[in-house]
Amino acid sequence: MDLKLTPVGMPTSVRPNAGVRPAGSASPLGASGGFAGALKGALNEVSAAQKESTNLQREVQMENPKVSLEETMVAIQKAQIGFQATLHVRNRMVQAYTDIMNMQV
């Protein structure tokens, strides 16, 4: 699982020619999708890891000789770590939203 985020560039307030967009450009983030795209991709990877671990668990329970217990346990641990990381990111985002909403204007 790869949870790396790629930088999207400088903020609009710092960038020169921030108000000028090339013709045909729908968003300033381009095809990368920015933070929302990275978050969606990470969630999809966590979901895939959970599905893989579930399938491996099922195969071990059915006594499939091609699936080892060690491989299954590693997949389960990867899924758990990914889920915990996702949960921490969600909690941090909720906390940041709460902090922003409580700011004095």
Residue type, 62: M
Assessment of whether the complete model's pTM goes beyond 0.85: no
What six digits make up the tokens of 1? Answer: 């699982």
Instruction: Determine the pLDDT at residue 79.
Output: 95
Domain coordinates in residue numbering, the chain = 42-101
pLDDT in tens, 9-39: 544 544 445 455 555 445 454 456 788 898 8
| Euclidean distance between CA atoms 29 and 82, whole angstroms | 26
pLDDT in tens, 43-85: 999 999 999 999 999 999 999 899 999 999 999 999 999 999 9
3-state SS of the chain is CCCCCCCCCCCCCCCCCCCCCCCCCCCCCHHHCHHHHHHHHHHHHHHHHHHHHHHHHHHHHCCCCCCCHHHHHHHHHHHHHHHHHHHHHHHHHHHHHHHHHCCCC
